[in-house]
Structures are given as structure tokens and as C-alpha cells.
Amino acid sequence: KWSMAGFRAAKIAEIRKQVGTGRVICGLSGGVDSAVAAVLIHEAIGEQLTCVYVDHGLMRSGESEEVVGLFRNSYNIPLVHVQASELFLGGLAGVTDPEAKRKFIGKTFIDVFEVEAKKIGGADFLAQGTLYPDVIESVSFTGGPSVTIKSHHNVGGLPERMNMKLVEPLRELFKDEVRALGRELGLPEAFVGRHPFPGPGLAIRIPGEVTEERCDILRKADKIYLEEIRKAGLYDAIWQAFAVLLPVRTVGVMGDHRTYDSVCGLRAVTSVDGMTADVYPFESSFLSAVATRIVNEVRGINRVVYDYTSKPPGTIEWE
Ligand code: XMP
């Protein structure tokens, strides 16, 4: 009978067989998937693994500290923390097309991993926490008309030529199974239960051009939204909740001043695997309170809207 303990043992054997005596670099994105992949691979090959956490400047507030803290403090897994926000934000200047953003970010991740691989004397493999839904949504479906919905940064966003071979032990799993595997591996519950966060980060939550200033505005709004969700005890009932910063300015009034600032969109969905999703039905008083806080506390935003679209026809992220 299939069990998570059995899966763990089988994957460890498989990883050892694939990697042999080679060196592996594992990219940590801050999410559950890459963390589970890293811990599993570490169990399989120990010192042959080096984890790389790339701070692309597109993280949520507090994200980097949590991940780096978890690996440095709870695990004895060597972790290289790369500060690459200039590289990513510089390259994103002027880019507005969603797929162009995704492709640039996917490629730049690989560039950074290759530089880090050189520093440790070369790596033969790149490990990623790719899940089954990342694969399905990134490839063109066969049989019907060929459509790519979006290039997930770790699949369709990868460059065509790469020096390292891929190790992707979670490639056949769905999110709920990754969480179960994370528990099996002893990851803290608060980490395992975290909402998914996409590799391209805030870049795909800022339609239009991504700038450091817009990332900062979005981080503030998003932090308030998540704070209120936790305070209301709703975090675990929601699959994913986040704020989006729209490239639209509208007129408002603050005291006796006219304002002309950006619109913030709020998204919250329930889902089992991210493949389909329903809108989370907040009480309207909850949404009003969040909107009031955001407009009062975040300079640059003067209007807040709630996204009432399920998936399909919408997707969870806006890009
Ligand atoms: P969509 O927007 O396609 O998202 O409905 C489904 C789930 O996948 C996440 N997502 C990504 N995760 N790299 C990731 O690691 C990506 O490029 C990516 N794009 C979307 C999204 O946050 C949601 O949980």
C-alpha cells in the first residue's frame, strides 16, 4: 500500500541513484515545495547538497528572514544567501508582458545558480521543488489545441540550454501531498501550512512595469492584508491570499486633499491543488476594515477592490 514513509524511502534511493557522487545545488524559493525538496535531498546525499536562496527583491515582507532562519537554525544544511535584487529589478525595467517577466526571471535564476555552482567548484545537478501542477500548466497540452497558460518559472521559464541536469523529486506530487511529505520529514507545522508563493514573486502581482518603489508599496499593502487574515483566524482556511498592485490610478479624497493614486486588488481563494479555485467569501465588514487600513496606511494606494473571479475562468495569480 502507498504511504508517505514509503514514498520518502523510495525517493531517497532514487535521488542517490541519479546523483551518484555528483554535486547538487538546490534553489530555495521561500516556499514549501523547494524547502521539502531540499530536506529530502539532504537526507539522501548530505554534504553533496548546497542550498542557494536567491533574494530577487520580489519577496513579500519578512519572507527571506523566515526561510533563511529555518534552514540556518533548524537544519544543519549549508545555505548560500544571494542578494540579487539589482540584477532582477534591473532586468525587469521596462518589461510589461507577463510571459516575458516569467521567462526573464526563470533564466536569471539559472544564471545565478550557475555562478554559485562555479564558486563551489562546479555542480552537476540543479534541484528544484517542481510539482505536478507546475508541469501541467507550463507545457502545451497535447491532443487539443496547443496552449501554454503560463510558464511556471521552474519549468517553462527555464532557458533551453543549461549546464546542470535537473533533480525534481516532487514532480509527481500535488500540494497537499508535498505538505504531508514535509510533515513526514519533520518540518515545522507553521512552515508546512504556509500559503504557496510563486517563484517570480511580486513581479507577477504588479501588472505593468515592476519597480522597487512599486514592490515596496505592494509589500506594505500585502502585509496589512495578511496581518488582518491571521488576526481573524482565517489563514488556514484559505489556500492563498495576497494583494496585487494595479497599473491604474484613480481619483480619491483624503481629508481636504485630492489624491490620484494606484488601485490595490485583494485576492483570496480556496483550493485543493491550485488547479481550480473558489473565491474566499469574506464578510464584507472584514474587507472594509482591510481596505480602510490599506488606504490610510499605505502611501500610493487610494482605492481597494476585491477579486471575485474563480479559477477557471480566472487564474489565481493575475499574470
Ligand atoms: P495560477 O495563477 O496558474 O496559479 O492559477 C496556480 C498556483 O501556482 C502558483 N504559481 C507558481 N508557482 N512558480 C511557482 O512556483 C510559478 O512560476 C508560478 N506561477 C503560479 C500560484 O501562486 C498558485 O498557487
Residue whose Cα lies nearest atom 3 of ligand 1: it is 315
Ligand 1 centroid, distance to 235 Cα (angstroms):
18
3-state secondary structure of 291: helix
- Partners of 250 in beta bridges: 261
Centre of ligand 1 from the C-alpha of residue 317, in Å: 7
Torsion-angle region of 208 (φ positive above 0: left; ψ -120 to 50: alpha; else: beta): left
Ligand 1 centroid to Cα of residue 291, in Å, is 25
Centre of ligand 1 from the C-alpha of residue 158, in Å:
15
Number of neighbouring beta carbons within 10 Å of residue 162: 13
pLDDT at 9 over 90: yes
- At 28, which amino acid appears? L
Q: What is the pLDDT of residues 246-258, one digit of tens each?
A: 999 999 999 999 9
pLDDT band per the 50, 70, 90 thresholds, residue 271: very high
- Write down the pLDDT at residue 194: 93
Note if the pTM is more than 0.90.
yes
Distance set, CA 308 to CA 110, 143, 232, 234, 290 (Å): 36, 32, 20, 18, 16
Residues with CB under 6 A from ligand 1: 102, 134, 137, 150, 152-154, 196, 198-200, 240, 274, 311, 315-317
CA distances from 99 to 92, 128, 200 (A): 12, 20, 11
In this structure, the residue with its CA closest to atom 21 of ligand 1 is 198
High-pLDDT (> 70) share of the chain, %: 97
CA distance 87 to 92: 9
Q: Which three cell numbers stand for residue 194?
A: 504556509
* Amino acid at site 266: L
| Mean pLDDT, residues 24-37 taken together | 92
Q: 28, 309, 317, 319: which to mutate for ligand 1, most atoms within 8 A of CB?
A: 317
Residue entry with cell 473571479: 309
Is 29 marked as a binding-site residue? yes
153 C-alpha to center of ligand 1: Å? 9
111 is in an annotated binding site: no
Q: Could you tell me if the ipTM is greater than 0.95?
A: yes
> What is the position in ligand 1's atom list of the atom closest to the CA of 150?
3
CA 19 to CA 196: how far, in whole Å? 28
Rounded CA-CA distance 216/135 in Å is 31
Give the cell for residue 144.
487539443
CA angle in degrees (0–180, nearest 5) for 256-262-265: 120
Q: What is the pLDDT of residue 145?
A: 52
Ligand 1, from 152, 205, 222, 279: best to mutate by most atoms within 8 Å of Cβ? 152
Contact 278, 270 (CB under 8 A): yes
Amino acid 148: pLDDT: 81
